Amino acid sequence: MFIKAFRVGLGQLIIFIDFITRPRKLRRSADAQATVDQAAAGLSLYQFRACPFCVKTRRALHKLNVSVELRDAKNNEEHRQTLLSQGGKIKVPCLRIDENGQSTWLYESNAIIAYLQGRFASV
Over the stretch 61-82, which tens digit does the pLDDT of each residue have? 999 999 999 999 999 999 999 9
Least confident span in 10-14, 42-46, 73-77, 82-86: 10-14
Say what the pLDDT of residue 6 is: 86
What pLDDT is recorded for position 36?
Answer: 96
Over residues 94-122, the pLDDT tens digits come to 999 999 999 999 999 999 999 999 999 98
d(CA 37, CA 2) in angstroms, rounded, equals: 43
Which residue ranges form the domains of the chain, and what is each CATH number?
2-22+41-120 (3.40.30.10)
Among 35, 83, 85, 43, CA closest to 60 = 43
Nearest C-alpha neighbor of 64 from the set 105, 32, 97, 96: 32
pLDDT at 9 over 90: no
- The alpha-carbon radius of gyration of the chain (Å, integer) is 15
Strands 69-72, 43-47: pairing is parallel
| pLDDT at residue 74, rounded to an integer | 94
The pTM assigned to this predicted structure is 0.88
* 99 DSSP assignment: E
Residue 45 and residue 70 in contact, taking contact as beta carbons nearer than 8 Å: yes
User: Which class for 33: exposed (0-12), middle (13-18), buried (19 or more C-beta within 10 A)?
Assistant: middle
pLDDT of residue 34: 96
